[in-house]
Chain A
Amino acid sequence: MYNIPEDIVVDTAQVKVTQAPNRLVALGVGSCVVITLHDPMLKVGAMAHAMLPDSTEHGPTINPFKFADLAIDAIIKKMEFLGSNRQNMKAKIVGGANMFPNLGHESLRAGEENVLAVKEKLRKERISLAGEVVGGSVGRSVDFDTVSGIVTVRVKI
C-alpha cells in the first residue's frame, strides 16, 4: 500500500504519535522543549512539545502534557502501544532557548530548566539520547521524519 506522507503539527502542551511515512512538526519553539522518540525498526515516532520542567512542583492541572515529565511518560506509552519497546527508542531534543537572555529574569530561564529536566527524565526511563539542538536565544521549528528518524531544525534569524 502506498501512503502519502502527512505533516502532523504538534502544538504546545500536546503529544502525538504516528508511523512512517508521516512527519511530526513543531513550529516556533522557544523555551519549550520538543522531544522526539523514534523506533527505527518499526518506523514509528512520537513527539512531545513541553513548556515546563516538572509537574510535581505544581498543583492540579488542566493539561498534563505541558509538563516535560508527564509528556515523556505519555509518548513512551504511545510508542509502546504501537509495539515499540524502550531499548529501541531513540530520543532527540530541540529547544530550551531563552528568547530574552539579557533581562536575567528568574522565571525566563525556563528553557534551561526544561532541558535539564528532560535529560534527567530520559535517563531515568532508560531512553538513549541520540541528538540535541538546545539552548541559545533563537526560535526553532522542528520537522521529524518517521521514516529515517531524521530531525531537521529550522531557524529564521
Chain B
Amino acid sequence: MGTKMLIVDDSAFTRRVVRNALNGRGYREVIEAENGEEGLRKYETEKPDVVLLDIILPGLHGTEVLKNIMNMDENAKVIMLTAVGQEKTMKVCNILGSVGYIVKPFDERKLVDTVEKILHAKEKRKRLAKLTEFEEEALREVGHISAQHAGTALSKMIGKVVKVELLAATLTSLDGLPKLIGNREALVSGIYLPITGDLSGSLLVIFPEKSAFTLVDVLLKKEMGTTKEFGEMGKSALSEAGNILAGNCLTALSHALGMHLVEHVPEFAHDMVGALIDNVAVAFGQEAERALTIQVELNAGKKIKVTGYFFLLFALKEARAMLRALGAKAGV
C-alpha cells in the first residue's frame, strides 16, 4: 500500500508542483487543502501518513495548524514549507513537533528526498515513558531558575530575603502526585493557574495553612499571628501574591525556553491538600499518564517563616516539547 500525503498550501501552483513531483512514486493519494481549517478537517478524516504544511496561510496560521495536528496525533509526521528568513518560526515548529522543513522555492528532487527520508526514518520520534537522567536534570534546572524568579518577587513583596530550595523535579504518575505532600488531610491554601500557549500545563502554588496566615499578616501589614482565618481581603491578598509569584515563574520559564506561555487569572482555594492536588492532577489524567512535577520550597527569614511549594505540572508530551526547546536530546 502506498503513502497518503496531505498538502496544506493556499497556492494552487505549489500544490500542483508537489502533486507532479510525487506522481508515479508510489503515493497512493495526494490530498489537497487550501487553508488551515480545511487541512485540519482533512487530517482528521483522511489520516494521511505525512503532511506538507505551509507556514503562511490565510486564516489559521501554520503553527496553529501544526499544534492542532500534534494534539490530535502525537506521532503525526508534519513537514513545514517555509520561505527564507523564517528561521525563528521554524524553531517554534520544531518545538511544536514538526519533523522537517523544505525551503521554498524547492525542486522536485529535494522535495522527494526530504519526504522519503522522513518516511523511512526508523521511529526516531518514539516516545519513551521515561525521561533520562540527563533530561530530568535539564528540566530541574529550568524549574529552579523559574522558581528563583518567583522567590525574588516574593522577596520584594514582603521585604525579606527569600531562599529558594529545589526539592524535586520528577516525572510522576498521576496517582502518585498526591503522595508527594504526605498527609492528605493537611489544610493548605492553593493557588491554581492554568498555563496555555506553546505549552499547556498547570501551576499550583501551595502554602501550608500557617504559612498562608503569616503571608496574609505580612501582606496586609498586620501584627504577626493576627490572621486566623481568611476574610475576603486575605483571600484577595493571597491570590494576588500567588498571581505575582506565578507570573514571575512563568516569565522566567518563557525566557528559558524561548516559548510563549499565557498565564490566566488564578483561583484560590483553602482545603485539604489531597483534595486540591487530586483535582489538578486529574486535569492531566484526561490526556496523560504522567506529569512533570517541579517542587520548590520558598523560605523567608527566621522571624517570618513562610514555606511555599510550587508544582509546575506538564504532561510528558509537554515535557518533551520543553526539552526540544532546550536543545536537549529528547526521546532518542
Known contacts A66-B285, A108-B279, A27 near B272 by CB under 8 Å: yes
A contact residues, total (Cβ < 8 Å): 33
Closest A residue to B194 by beta carbon equals A105
Q: Is the CB of A12 within 8 A of B185?
A: no
B255 at the interface (CB under 8 A from A): no
Q: For the complex, what is the distance from the CA of A120 to the CA of B117, rounded to whole Å?
A: 49
A61 at the interface (CB under 8 A from B): yes
Q: Is the CB of B283 within 8 A of A108?
A: yes
A51 at the interface (CB under 8 A from B): yes
Q: Is the CB of A103 within 8 A of B274?
A: no
Closest B residue to A139 by beta carbon equals B275
Q: For the complex, what is the distance from the CA of A31 to the CA of B174, rounded to whole Å?
A: 14
Which residue of B185, B265, B286 is within 8 Å of A107 (Cβ)? B286
Question: CB-defined interface of A50-63 with B at 8 Å, one 1/0 digit per residue?
Answer: 01100000000111
Q: For the complex, what is the distance from the CA of A31 to the CA of B194, rounded to whole Å?
A: 17
Q: For the complex, what is the distance from the CA of A47 to the CA of B236, rounded to whole Å?
A: 38
Question: CB-defined interface of A104-143 with B at 8 Å, one 1/0 digit per residue?
Answer: 0101101100000000000000000000000001111100
Q: Is the CB of B279 within 8 A of A100?
A: yes
Give the distance to chain B from A148, nearest Cβ to Cβ, in Å: 23
Q: With a CB–CB cut-off of 8 A, which chain B residues contact A27?
A: 184-185, 272, 274
A32 at the interface (CB under 8 A from B): yes
Which residue of B190, B194, B275, B286 is within 8 Å of A140 (Cβ)? B275
A157 at the interface (CB under 8 A from B): yes
Which residue of B184, B187, B267 is within 8 Å of A103 (Cβ)? B267
Question: CB-defined interface of B140-173 with A at 8 Å, one 1/0 digit per residue?
Answer: 0000000000000000000000000000000001
A3 at the interface (CB under 8 A from B): no
Q: Is the CB of B274 within 8 A of A139?
A: yes
Q: Is the CB of A11 within 8 A of B276?
A: no
Which residue of B178, B192, B264 is within 8 Å of A28 (Cβ)? B178
Give the distance to chain A from B172, nearest Cβ to Cβ, in Å: 12
Q: For the complex, what is the distance from the CA of A29 to the CA of B174, rounded to whole Å?
A: 15
Q: With a CB–CB cut-off of 8 A, which chain B residues contact A11?
A: 175, 178-179
Q: For the complex, what is the distance from the CA of A66 to the CA of B175, rounded to whole Å?
A: 7
Which residue of A13, A32, A62, A137 is within 8 Å of B269 (Cβ)? A137
Give the distance to chain B from A103, nearest Cβ to Cβ, in Å: 5
Q: Is the CB of A156 within 8 A of B272?
A: yes
Q: Is the CB of B192 within 8 A of A103?
A: yes
Which residue of A32, A63, A103 is within 8 Å of B278 (Cβ)? A32
Give the distance to chain B from A95, nearest Cβ to Cβ, in Å: 9
Known contacts A62-B173, A110-B286, A138-B271, A99 near B279 by CB under 8 Å: yes
A97 at the interface (CB under 8 A from B): yes
B residues apposed to A, CB below 8 Å: 173-175, 178-179, 184-185, 187, 190, 192, 194, 264-265, 267, 269-287, 289
Top 8 nearest A-B pairs (CB, nearest first) are A28-B274, A139-B275, A30-B275, A28-B184, A13-B175, A139-B272, A28-B272, A107-B283
User: Can you sample 24 A-B contacts with CB below 8 Å?
Assistant: A12-B175, A12-B178, A13-B174, A27-B184, A30-B278, A31-B275, A52-B285, A62-B173, A63-B173, A63-B175, A100-B192, A100-B279, A102-B267, A107-B283, A108-B283, A110-B285, A111-B279, A137-B269, A139-B274, A139-B275, A139-B276, A140-B275, A156-B187, A157-B187
Contacts A30-B278, A108-B280, A110-B282 known; 15 new A-B pairs at CB < 8 A: A11-B179, A13-B174, A27-B185, A28-B185, A28-B278, A32-B278, A62-B173, A99-B190, A99-B279, A107-B287, A108-B283, A110-B285, A111-B279, A141-B272, A157-B270
